[in-house]
Amino acid sequence: MSGPAELRIILCEYAANNRDGTYTIVRGGLDFWESDSLPVQIACVAVLEMSPGTLETGRYRASLELSSATGVKVWAALAEIDVTKPALPLRVILPCQTHVQSFGMCRFVATIDGKATASTSIEIRRIGAN
């Protein structure tokens, strides 16, 4: 890796890479999920994004984990990344479909080869409880 790695996570309902190098996101910036009962079924997409030039040409492993409000890991995903054009932004799209057993703040943590790390929270809340 060259320089400090800047990795960020965007939670959304849908994401797709386009042929022209751009990508489409629907309802990006999710920060809560509502349900009227437990367990809460979560179905979202996490986009891992890195600035151009952050990674050198090569193969990397991206991981994303979701921990519940009680700190229990409830979901994880791995993806192999082939960087062939380091001058372009890197985007990895990972769908997440799981159940969470409690209301409260959950945390997504992403890493690339254990070096670049980012995290974001999503609140799992009961419908009507603002």
What topology is assigned to 7-126 in CATH?
Answer: Immunoglobulin-like (2.60.40)
**pLDDT at residue 130, rounded to an integer:** 63
| pLDDT tens per residue, range 54-101 | 888 999 999 999 999 999 999 999 999 999 988 888 899 999 999 999
**pLDDT at residue 115, rounded to an integer:** 76
Average pLDDT over all residues of the chain: 90
Q: pLDDT > 70: what percent of the chain?
A: 95
Cβ–Cβ under 8 Å, residues 113 and 1: yes
Model confidence at 114, in pLDDT bands (50, 70, 90)? confident
